[in-house]
């Protein structure tokens, strides 16, 4: 019995001290101001906010948008985005429609762009894309074409775009050419005149500042966990509000 | 008490109770997000977690419980009893769902915080509650953390038909089960969920492989001694693999170590999928199981230590304790998210949950009149 008490006491002490060390290392959710520059003025969204006091956003994408990896749906980035935008834009009715379907890539999302954006009368589409295309090794030219096509469809419906690029996680970092996909997205954003939310660069800065993967990635090495989802949602809302209300 | 556990028609392998109880504790602890106490559970040291242990032992005990019944009373009776068990699991799941929703509603009303109600709406309960209820009954709608029982229900239902097959052809069953697993991975097959576009978090077509590995291991039993001919290489391989996965798991917490992992290794191993149970997870669990089999014979003295009795009791009443644990994990989540989230609070909440589960398990044993015999 004494041995047992000792054992459990040691276990608890170890847990608390280890966990305490890990907790103390918890880093803040932040990004350098230049990384939050969307490179676009978001005129349609600004007009909607100032004139109609309403902002309708479609969150298009795959598992990051769906919220896979979050322990609770309220931590999914589109939900956090809605909450933060409402707080930062008082008096504006913010609607965020989650159109994330896990596992889909640029091609599948382009195919449903019309039916998913049209009925919601969105002024802003946040298209989280690139990771699944990179994992599936979609040829870069094809990836570029699908992005252009998807943006054209959404624009015809009156929406503005922010492209959200890949997540910086072990499964993506290990790919030989993940930065090529990020580069293509930046090129398409410039060419088409859309916004670009540099998720890859923001998360890489977290990592380079010493934030361990475990803080923002689930154990599959691919999906964002609670912290990652919440933080991306906060930073994106910050970036949008900074653009609309400089 | 101890003399009695050897009673009954055959000796109960108390390793099963112990490790299943441990898995139930781990599942509870790991269901509390960012819980400090998770440092004590398997998933912090490698690829697999307590889910594999739970599903494997469920397959193992299913064979022990029902193969004897089939031998004595025939397959139809055994299948009917499995059907009754599946029904109990289903009722437990639906009850858990009701409690889950009720708890959120109660806290939300009591504290006047609409946030929690909003949360239920986010899950898909708000837009069309009638539809959500229908989808719940069909097991398509499963809010967070209510994913494991539906997996168990589907797999155990298949076991009613697979029982005579696995008893006669354990190796063939494993082969067939592997083919289904590989097909699910290759063709991206999963059962549909709700809201539309969602799939099962634990894909039964993939996870059934772990269950049938457990079932085949139980049928083969002593015949597994064949493995002992290759004891040295197998042990070396298992230890090396566990070491490798511990290094990878640690690299998620220390960037200096992450830098040392060559990117070709990352390209090979990631993503380590949980929904479709990645091969690396299966291998990790099998390595643990192999080493545990070597290190812990059924006669090991420590298995009967008094201090481990709470764990064994939880393992003996796995369905009740599993349901209780799921419910308690949600309570813990609400306490931590809406009252206080400190390291101390996490430790206290985890310890009280484990204490509650243990007390309930003792209660269940007392009600059954001593160490109970439980069906799988």
| Token pair 């070709």 in the structure block, residue | B264
In angstroms, rounded to a whole number, what is the distance separating the alpha carbons of residues B40 and A212?
Answer: 19
Q: How far is B71 from chain A (nearest CA, A)?
A: 42
Secondary structure of chain B as H, E, C letters: CCHHHHCCCCCCCHHHHHHHHHHHHHHHHHCCCCCHHHHHCHHHHCCCCHHHHHHHHHHHHHHHHHHHHHHHHCHHHHHHHHHHHHHHHHHHHHHHHHHHHHHHHHHHHHCCCHHHHHHHHHHHHCCCHHHHHHHHHCCCCCCCCCCHHHHHHHHHHHHHHHHHHHHHCHHHHHHHHHHHHHHHHHCCCCCECCCCCCECCCCHHHHHHHHHHHHHHHHHHHHHHHHHHHHHHHHHHHHHHHHHHHHHHHHCCCHHHHHHCCHHHHHHHCCCCCCCCCHHHHHHHHHHHHHHHHHCCCCCHHHHCHHHHHHHHHHHCHHHHHHHHHHHHHHHHHHHHHCCCCHHHHHHHHHHHHHHHHHHHHHHHHHHCCCCCCCC
pLDDT tens column, B277-304: 999 999 999 999 999 999 999 899 999 9
Q: How far is A19 from chain B (nearest CA, A)?
A: 5
pLDDT greater at residue A13 or residue B334: B334
Report chain B residues whose CB lies below 8 A from the CB of A220. Answer: 270-274, 278
Interface touch A214/B36, C-beta < 8 Å: no
pLDDT tens column, B244-253: 999 999 999 9
Nearest-Å Rg of the Cα atoms of chain A is 20
In angstroms, rounded to a whole number, what is the distance separating the alpha carbons of residues A107 and A117?
Answer: 16
pLDDT tens column, B87-135: 999 999 999 999 988 888 888 787 777 766 777 676 777 778 888 889 9
Of A4-18, A189-203, B25-39, B49-63, least confident by mean pLDDT is: A4-18
pLDDT tens column, B218-271: 999 889 888 889 999 999 999 999 999 999 999 999 999 999 999 899 999 999
> Minimal Cα distance from B199: which residue of A?
A102
> Minimal Cα distance from B31: which residue of A?
A71
Q: Indicate if the pLDDT at residue B69 is higher than 50.
A: yes
DSSP at A95: E
Write down the pLDDT at residue B2.
35
Best residue in A15, A101, A135, A172 to probe B by mutation, most B CBs within 10 Å?
A15
DSSP H helices, A36-76, are 43-47, 63-66
Q: How far is A86 from chain B (nearest CA, A)?
A: 14
Write down the pLDDT at residue B116.
67
pLDDT tens column, A170-223: 999 999 999 999 999 999 999 999 999 999 999 999 999 999 999 999 999 999
pLDDT greater at residue A6 or residue B195: B195
Q: How far is A221 from chain B (nearest CA, A)?
A: 5
Q: How far is A40 from chain B (nearest CA, A)?
A: 31
Average per-residue pLDDT for chain B: 90
Report chain B residues whose CB lies below 8 A from the CB of A101. Answer: 197
Interface touch A170/B270, C-beta < 8 Å: yes
Contact A132, A98 (CB under 8 A): no
pLDDT band with cut points at 50, 70 and 90 for residue B338:
confident
How far are the Cα atoms of A63, A75, A190, A228, B343 from residue A70, in angstroms, in the given order? 10, 6, 32, 9, 20
In angstroms, rounded to a whole number, what is the distance separating the alpha carbons of residues B323 and B319?
Answer: 6
| Token pair 């809406």 in the structure block, residue | B338
- The phi-psi region of residue B138 (left if phi > 0; otherwise alpha if psi is between -120 and 50; otherwise beta) is alpha
Best residue in A95, A112, A212 to probe B by mutation, most B CBs within 10 Å?
A212
Q: How far is B169 from chain A (nearest CA, A)?
A: 34
DSSP at A31: -
Write down the pLDDT at residue A246.
65
Contact B159, B213 (CB under 8 A): no
Q: Cα B302 from chain centroid?
A: 24
DSSP at A186: H
DSSP at A36: G
> Minimal Cα distance from B255: which residue of A?
A212
For A165-187, b/e burial (b = at least 16 CB within 10 A) is bbbbbbbbbbbeebbebbebbbe
Report the half-sphere exposure of B330 (CA within 13 A, side-chain side): 23
In angstroms, rounded to a whole number, what is the distance separating the alpha carbons of residues B83 and B236?
Answer: 42
Report chain A residues whose CB lies below 8 A from the CB of B307. Answer: 1, 3-4, 7-8
Residue B138 at interface with chain A, using a CB cutoff of 8 Å: no
Best residue in A73, A76, A215, A227 to probe B by mutation, most B CBs within 10 Å?
A73
Chain B window 53-112: which residues touch A at a Cβ cutoff of 8 Å? Answer: none
Element (H, E) at A213: helix A213-216
Q: At what angle do helices B318-338 and B50-73 cross, to 10 degrees?
A: 160
Interface touch A73/B33, C-beta < 8 Å: no
Residue of B123, B145, B263 lying closest to A174 (CB–CB):
B263
CA dihedral A136, A141, A142, A146 (to 10 degrees): 110
Q: How far is B120 from chain A (nearest CA, A)?
A: 9
Interface predicted TM-score of the whole assembly (ipTM), two decimals: 0.87
Contact B164, B173 (CB under 8 A): no
Q: Indicate if the pLDDT at residue B307 is higher than 60.
A: yes
DSSP H helices, A99-198, are 106-117, 131-135, 140-156, 170-173, 178-192
Report chain B residues whose CB lies below 8 A from the CB of A76. Answer: 122
Q: How far is B251 from chain A (nearest CA, A)?
A: 8
pLDDT band with cut points at 50, 70 and 90 for residue A17:
low
Q: How far is B31 from chain A (nearest CA, A)?
A: 8
> Minimal Cα distance from B280: which residue of A?
A220
In angstroms, rounded to a whole number, what is the distance separating the alpha carbons of residues B107 and B319?
Answer: 26
pLDDT tens column, A50-71: 999 999 999 999 999 999 999 8
Write down the pLDDT at residue B9.
42
- Extents of the domains making up chain B: 48-220
Write down the pLDDT at residue B125.
78
Write down the pLDDT at residue B8.
38
Cα angle, residue B328 at apex, residues B326 and B329 outer, rounded to 5°: 65
Assess if CATH 3.30.9.10 describes domain A32-244.
Answer: no
How far are the Cα atoms of B17, B21, B30, B179 from residue B314, in angstroms, in the given order? 8, 5, 17, 34
Residue of B40, B273, B306 lying closest to A220 (CB–CB):
B273
| Other residues' Cβ atoms within 10 Å of the Cβ of residue B130 | 7
Interface touch A15/B307, C-beta < 8 Å: no
Average pLDDT for A22-30 = 70
> Minimal Cα distance from A7: which residue of B?
B307
For A189-214, b/e burial (b = at least 16 CB within 10 A) is beeeebbbbbbbbbbbbbbeeebbbb
Residue of A8, A73, A222 lying closest to B122 (CB–CB):
A73
Average pLDDT for B7-31 = 85
pLDDT band with cut points at 50, 70 and 90 for residue B3:
very low
> Minimal Cα distance from A5: which residue of B?
B307
| Token pair 């509870």 in the structure block, residue | B28
Q: Indicate if the pLDDT at residue B322 is higher than 90.
A: yes
Report chain A residues whose CB lies below 8 A from the CB of B306. Answer: 1, 4
In angstroms, rounded to a whole number, what is the distance separating the alpha carbons of residues B358 and B310?
Answer: 5
Using DSSP bridges, classify how beta strands A93-100 and A160-164 pair: parallel, antiparallel or unpaired: unpaired
pLDDT tens column, A110-159: 999 999 999 999 999 999 999 999 999 999 999 999 999 999 999 999 99
Report chain A residues whose CB lies below 8 A from the CB of B132. Answer: none
In angstroms, rounded to a whole number, what is the distance separating the alpha carbons of residues B261 and B248?
Answer: 8
pLDDT band with cut points at 50, 70 and 90 for residue B179:
very high
Write down the pLDDT at residue B5.
35
Give just the sign of the alpha carbon dihedral A212, A215, A216, A222. positive
Contact A210, B255 (CB under 8 A): yes
pLDDT tens column, A68-110: 999 888 889 999 999 999 999 999 999 999 999 999 999 999 9
What token pair was written down for A58? 């479609």
Write down the pLDDT at residue B339.
78
Interface touch A219/B274, C-beta < 8 Å: yes
Report chain B residues whose CB lies below 8 A from the CB of A217. Answer: 252
Report the half-sphere exposure of B187 (CA within 13 A, side-chain side): 10
- In three-state secondary structure terms, A153 is helix
| Other residues' Cβ atoms within 10 Å of the Cβ of residue B251 | 21
- A-B contacts at Cβ under 8 angstroms: 120
- Extents of the domains making up chain A: 32-244
Interface touch B252/A174, C-beta < 8 Å: no
Interface touch A20/B343, C-beta < 8 Å: yes
DSSP at A176: T
């Amino acid at each position: 019995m004494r041995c047992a008490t000792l054992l459990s006491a040691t276990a608890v002490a170890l847990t608390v001290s280890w966990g305490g060390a890990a907790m103390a290392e918890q880093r803040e959710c932040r990004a350098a101001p230049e990384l939050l520059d969307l490179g676009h003025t978001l005129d349609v969204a600004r007009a909607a906010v100032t004139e109609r006091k309403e902002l309708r956003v479609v969150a298009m994408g795959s598992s990051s948008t769906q919220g896979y990896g979050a322990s609770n749906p309220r931590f999914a980035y589109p939900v956090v985005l809605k909450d933060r935008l409402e707080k930062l834009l008082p008096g504006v009715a913010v609607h965020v429609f989650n159109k994330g379907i896990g596992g889909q890539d640029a091609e599948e999302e382009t195919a449903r762009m019309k039916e998913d954006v049209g009925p919601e009368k969105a002024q802003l589409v946040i298209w989280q894309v690139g990771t699944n295309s990179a994992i599936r090794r979609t040829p870069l030219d094809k990836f570029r074409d699908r992005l252009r096509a998807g943006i054209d469809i959404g624009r015809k419906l009156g929406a503005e775009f922010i492209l959200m690029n890949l997540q910086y996680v072990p499964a993506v970092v290990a790919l030989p050419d993940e930065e090529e996909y990020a580069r293509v997205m930046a090129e398409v954003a410039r060419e088409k005149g859309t916004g670009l939310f540099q998720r890859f660069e923001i998360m890489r800065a977290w990592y380079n500042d010493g934030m361990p993967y475990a803080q923002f990635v689930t154990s599959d090495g691919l999906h964002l966990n609670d912290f990652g989802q919440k933080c991306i949602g906060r930073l994106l809302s910050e970036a949008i509000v900074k653009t609309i209300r400089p | 008490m101890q003399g009695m556990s050897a009673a009954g028609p055959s000796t109960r392998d108390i390793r099963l109770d112990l490790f299943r109880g441990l898995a139930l504790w781990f599942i509870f602890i790991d269901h509390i997000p960012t819980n400090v106490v998770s440092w004590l559970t398997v998933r912090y040291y490698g690829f697999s977690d307590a889910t594999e242990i739970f599903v494997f032992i469920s397959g193992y005990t299913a064979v022990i419980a029902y193969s004897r019944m089939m031998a004595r009373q025939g397959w139809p009776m055994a299948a009917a009893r499995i059907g009754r068990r599946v029904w109990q699991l289903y009722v437990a799941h639906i009850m858990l769902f009701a409690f889950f929703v009720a708890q959120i509603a109660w806290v939300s009303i009591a504290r006047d915080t609409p946030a929690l109600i909003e949360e239920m709406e986010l899950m898909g309960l708000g837009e069309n509650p009638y539809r959500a209820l229908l989808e719940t009954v069909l097991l398509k709608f499963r809010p967070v953390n209510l994913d494991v029982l539906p997996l168990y229900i589907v797999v155990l239902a298949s076991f009613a038909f697979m029982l005579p097959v696995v008893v006669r052809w354990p190796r063939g069953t494993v082969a067939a089960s592997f083919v289904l697993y590989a097909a699910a991975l290759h063709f991206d097959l999963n059962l549909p969920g709700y809201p539309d576009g969602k799939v099962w978090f634990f894909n039964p077509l993939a996870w059934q492989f772990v269950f049938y590995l457990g079932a085949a291991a139980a049928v083969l039993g002593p015949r597994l001694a064949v493995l002992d001919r290759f004891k040295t290489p197998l042990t070396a391989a298992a230890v090396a693999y566990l070491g490798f996965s511990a290094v990878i798991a640690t690299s998620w917490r220390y960037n200096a170590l992450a830098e040392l992992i060559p990117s070709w290794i990352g390209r090979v191993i990631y993503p380590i999928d949980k929904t479709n149970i990645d091969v690396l997870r299966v291998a990790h669990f099998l390595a643990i199981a192999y080493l545990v089999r070597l290190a812990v014979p059924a006669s090991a003295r420590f298995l009967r230590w008094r201090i481990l009795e709470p764990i064994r009791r939880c393992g003996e009443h796995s369905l009740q304790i599993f349901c209780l644990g799921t419910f308690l994990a949600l309570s813990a989540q609400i306490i931590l998210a809406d009252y206080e989230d400190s390291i101390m609070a996490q430790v206290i909440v985890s310890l009280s949950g484990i204490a509650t589960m243990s007390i309930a398990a003792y209660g269940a044993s007392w009600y059954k009149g001593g160490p109970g015999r439980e069906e799988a």
